[in-house]
Structure 1
Amino acid sequence: MSAPTAAPEPVAGDPRTPWSGTVRRTAEGSIEVGGLDVRDIAVEHGTPVYVLDEADLRRRARAFVTAFTSAFADLAGADVYFASKSFASVAVDRWVHEEGMHVDVSTGGELAVALRAGVPGDAIALHGNNKSTAELERALRAGVGRIVVDSLGEIEHLAHLAGALGLPAPVMIRVTTGVHAGGHDFISTAHEDQKFGLSLASGAARAAVDAVLARPELTLLGLHSHIGSQILDLAGFEVAAGALLTLRAEVAADTGTLMPELDLGGGYGISYTGADVPPTPEEIAPALAAVVRRACEELGSAPPRVSVEPGRAVVGPAGLTLYRVGTVKPVVLDDGSARRYVSVDGGMSDNIRTALYDAEYTATVAGRRSEAPTVLSRVVGKHCESGDIVVRDVLLPDDVAPGDLLAVPATGAYGRSMASNYNLLPRPGVLAVREGRARFIVRPETEEDLLALDLG
């Protein structure tokens, strides 16, 4: 854990900033996003609320598409998939597709949202380690561009379904390369002892390739790898790509089948507190292109069409969560120092990542400017859990008080998508802002919504 600091002030173009591109301090000292003052947002739309900067999100999506199209132009091209697990909504899926992205889904619900958004089937990929028969059938009927298989049993099941329906089944194989990267162990996804993929080291990946090639109902597109999340160092991608391309060349030599595609996953990190400098699309794309170019030259193979899946790197920095402070409580610690507990009107139900992963966030008083000295603070929620922490340690002004607005940046990814109704707290809505206008793209839940599910 890094030493506590105050939230950085929003500075346009700062690579470390956790704030979206339109966030700024007004002359009166409040935070403005998308041309709207957070004080007005709180009055009109209530708190807590997820605020999504549409222009910033679109800019980030467009930057990834442009960078990868350019970097892979002399190879076999590239596609960029939005990982909808980071935050799936009809509006967001529509926005990213309008900016040139494809959409990656991992459940029937995420598939339904992508289709409702008008994303064509051939621009959708279906993931998942335990896809249901209904999910696979719906994907086949929708004509999804790829189904990423995750086990030998799934290969046989999918072949049977595709044959029964008389529909094509384009397949990629998720390979566990043994390379894992990112933050917490729970988000590192390519080590051997976990639920995803087919092991390269054990031979399961090659067995899966042979199993797919043996089924005429399936079309083998290529190999897929995902090594983790919140990755700030690109070195792991070089090792993983080399392993996948070597397997691809071996299969071609043995069977005469050169798989046309390769998916290198995503997991690119973002700045949550201002302490990290995440890689940009303009840095990521040429680096991966160089890896693929060099490996294919060494192996004597024609390059594949490459795809990647940035999710949080597109939507994460585009969002902030706006809370209102309820109670402020000083606590004396065992060593005699003090910490101030600042309770807000949300908590672990709208951002579970701090409790789940020890994720680090920052926060700032958003409705005014303060000249008071800062004190060590912990931003907590209103749930009946001592682990209900939004920001573990942050320096906030000594004069923070009930009624103040707090903004937590970089919550566009996983805040709403992992939200719950713990303690029967309604989930906040997602408010899209752009050029002084605001609209809910996901409306806030009400107690009536909760009661409507309770059959008594």
Structure 2
Amino acid sequence: MHFYGTATRNARGHLAVGGVDVADLAREFGTPLYIMDEALIRRNCRAYVESFREHYPDFDVAYASKAFLCTAMVALAEQEGLALDVVSGGEIATALQAGFPMERTYFHGNNKSGEEIRLALEAGVGRLVVDSTHELHLLEAVAAGAGRRVRILLRVTPGVEAHTHEYISTGQLDSKFGIPIAGGLALAAAREALALPHVELMGFHCHIGSQIFDLQGYRVAAQRMLDLMAAFRSETGSVARELSLGGGLGVRYVEGDRPTSPAELVACISAAVRAGAAERGLPLPRLIVEPGRSIVAEAGTTLYTVGSIKEIPGVRTYLAVDGGMGDNIRPALYQAEYECAVANKLDSPRTRVVTVVGRYCESGDVLLRDVAVAGDVAPGDLLAVFATGAYNFSMASHYNRFPPPPVVFVRDGRADLVVRRQSFAEMAALDLLPERLRSRTAR
């Protein structure tokens, strides 16, 4: 069995993460429960920063908040020297609540509202990553009204096909994100930006997709972005000083996955940008990356309690847990795969094949199909699903009026609750009942 980070089998034959027995976590915090391995998160952050220090003179590593965000994660990212990539007013508010230095934030999004842009300006966001010419002029109007000059990156699509699921591919020509380089559209948008008095164009951004194992896409993207920067200088006389190649590095979810390390990615893109800039006579830009999944995915374990076990002879055995698609929508959304183990019976032979399903009222509420688990698994046991640190908490819902799981950080034998479980009353706290509906008889 493959363990991630600090996860081990302890003397009781139980799964332990960060030196804490998950059975103890279940007793204290209940299940379903998101467990985050703090030491592994920090190790992944440092892998990016230390590799850049070795390979490139001017860089920024911006944690992609969309992968997993709470105030504790913001604080951890700041401690590790990371900047922050935010995509909404809510993520900006979380960063503010955690006291993050807002000049180190990058504000993304393909359809930012005027209200969100105003919030970003008031908060002192460091860079707005502009996704369209519509947004460019909306930003100019908001900035003019605020009497501010805003530094931006222009998000472009380099036409690179990342070998990943179509739902998480973003660098190709046909994408809702960014302005295509093809047809001169990105260059035209850059010229428009230069003409706006309240906008300062610092450089360009692209993101080719997510869960990427092959580094060739990054090399191609770097060359196309440098071509754009060279054309921008040639046509306008201005120099783009910043280049963001986004994030998207893949992680190990199942046995067959062979991810590339952060150090390999950094070495690859650093070499590509160094050589490409020299070939085009460009000064080295500040190089920015935005890792999210590769920081937190493998650090997450979701812990469930096993409920009913339904065997259909000759067909399938269904093992139901007390969570499901409400805390992990990824299998239903794009057929994501995971590995699991009966966390309190690691020493039992894995001789029973089951399909793990949730408790939500959907036939598609399937977490894992045909996986081997302990042969003596029984109701009340604990099931751990690995590598659930990215997008699971972020995309959790209140479907069927179940509260999303709480989150604990574990490290050096200590567990800290960083997001508590909502009560049923808290979930209903925003509901309003008009007076006309209070009567049991229609009027």
In 1, the alpha carbon distance for the partners of 2:429 and 2:48 equals: 41
SS at match of 2:359: coil
Q: Contact 2:309 / 2:378 at 8 angstroms: preserved in 1?
A: yes
1:427 and 2:408 equivalent?
no
1:158 aligned residue (139, 161, 181): 139
2:345–2:374: 8 Å Cα contact kept in structure 1? no
Other structure's SS at 1:222 match = strand
CA contact (8 A) 2:152 2:201 kept: yes
Q: Which amino acid aligns with 1:47?
A: T
* Structure-2 residue corresponding to 1:3: none
User: Residues of 2 paired with 1:448 and 1:165: CA distance?
Assistant: 40
Q: Encode CA deviations 1:198-252: one digit per residue, 9 max, x unaligned.
A: 0111322111101100112110010100000001111001111111110100110
Report matched runs for 1:37-76 at 5 Å. 37-73=21-57
Secondary structure of 1:244's partner?
helix
Deviation, 1:36, is: 0.9
Q: Is the 8 A contact 1:381 1:390 kept in 2?
A: yes
Aligned to 1:209: 190
The answer as to 2:212 corresponding to 1:231 is: yes
1:407 aligns with 2:414: no
Alignment of 1:273-422 (within 5 A): 273-332=254-313, 336=314, 338-422=315-399
* Aligned-partner Cα distance in 2 for 1:297–1:439: 49
Question: After the TM superposition, which residues 445-456 of structure 1 pair with which residues of structure 2 at under 5 Å, given as runs?
Answer: 445-456=422-433
Q: CA deviation at 1:163?
A: 1.4
2:111 match: 130
CA distance in 1, matches of 2:224, 2:39: 38
Question: Which amino acid is 1:153 matched to?
Answer: H
- Deviating above 6 A after TM superposition, structure 1's stretches of 4 or more consecutive aligned residues are none
Q: Any conservation in 2 of the 1:86–1:417 contact (CA below 8 Å)?
A: yes
| 2:67 aligned counterpart, secondary structure | coil
Shift of 1:316: 0.9
SS of residue in 2 equivalent to 1:266: coil
Question: How far is 1:370 from its partner?
Answer: 4.1
Partner in structure 1 of residue 221 of structure 2: 240
SS of corresponding position for 1:407: strand
Amino acid at match of 1:299: R
Paired residue type of 2:68: F
Aligned twin of 2:15: 31
Q: Quick one: distance in 2 between partners of 1:90 and 1:403? A: 32
Q: Which amino acid aligns with 2:131?
A: D
* Aligned mates of 2:89, 2:350 — CA distance in 1: 50
Partner SS, residue 228 of structure 1? coil
Q: Which amino acid aligns with 1:37?
A: D
- Separation in 2 of the partners of 1:79 and 1:371? 46
Match of 1:184 among 155, 160, 165: 165
- Kept after mapping to 2: 8 A contact 1:324/1:404: yes
Q: What is the letter of the counterpart of residue 42 of structure 1?
A: A
Question: 1:140·1:168 contact (CA, 8 Å) conserved in 2?
Answer: no
Q: Which residue of 2 aligns with 1:105?
A: 86
Normalising by structure 1, report the TM-score. 0.93
2:241 is equivalent to residue 260 of structure 1: yes
Tell me how far apart the structure 2 counterparts of residues 196 and 212 of structure 1 sit (CA, whole Å). Answer: 18
Q: Is the CA contact 1:141–1:167 (under 8 Å) kept in the aligned structure 2?
A: no
Counterpart residue type for residue 168 of structure 1: R
Q: 2-side partners of 1:303 and 1:379: how far apart?
A: 50
| Aligned sequence identity (%) | 48
Aligned partners of 1:69 and 1:79 also within 8 Å = no
- The one-letter code sitting in structure 1 at the alignment partner of 2:209 is G
**Cα displacement (A) at 1:104:** 0.2
Further displaced range: 164-173 or 223-232: 164-173
Gaps of 5+ in 1: 1-7, 11-18
Code of the residue aligned with 1:131 in structure 2: it is K
Residues 75-102 of structure 1: CA distance to partner in whole angstroms, max 9, x if unpaired? Answer: xx11100000001111101101110100
Distance 1:427 1:245 in 2: 43
Compute the RMSD of aligned alpha carbons.
1.2
Separation in structure 1 between the aligned mates of residue 258 and residue 420 of structure 2, nearest angstrom: 33
Whole-angstrom CA distance in 2 between matches of 1:416 and 1:82: 16
1:83 matches 2:67: no
AA aligned to 2:393 is: R
* Residue identity matched to 1:26: N
Give the match for residue 16 of structure 1. none
Aligned in 2, Cα 1:367/1:373: closer, same or farther, shift over 3 Å? closer
Paired letter, 1:66: E
Partner Cα distance (1:194, 1:304) in 2: 26
State whether residues 182 and 229 of structure 1, in contact with CA within 8 Å, keep that contact through their aligned partners in structure 2: no
In the aligned structure 2, how far is the partner of 1:92 from the partner of 1:247?
A: 35
The amino acid that maps onto 2:10 is T
Indicate the residue corresponding to 1:146 in structure 2: 127
- Per-residue deviation, residues 65-123 of structure 1 (Å, max 9, x unmatched): 111222102xxx11100000001111101101110100000000001111221211210
Tell me the amino acid that sits aligned with residue 219 of structure 2.
Answer: E
Deviation for aligned residue 1:373: 5.0
What is the total number of aligned residue pairs between the two structures? 433
SS in 1 for 2:110: coil
Q: Distance in 2 between matches of 1:69 and 1:329?
A: 54
Partner of 1:202, secondary structure, is helix
Equivalent residues of 2:40, 2:299 under 8 A apart: yes
1:23 CA drift (Å)? 0.6
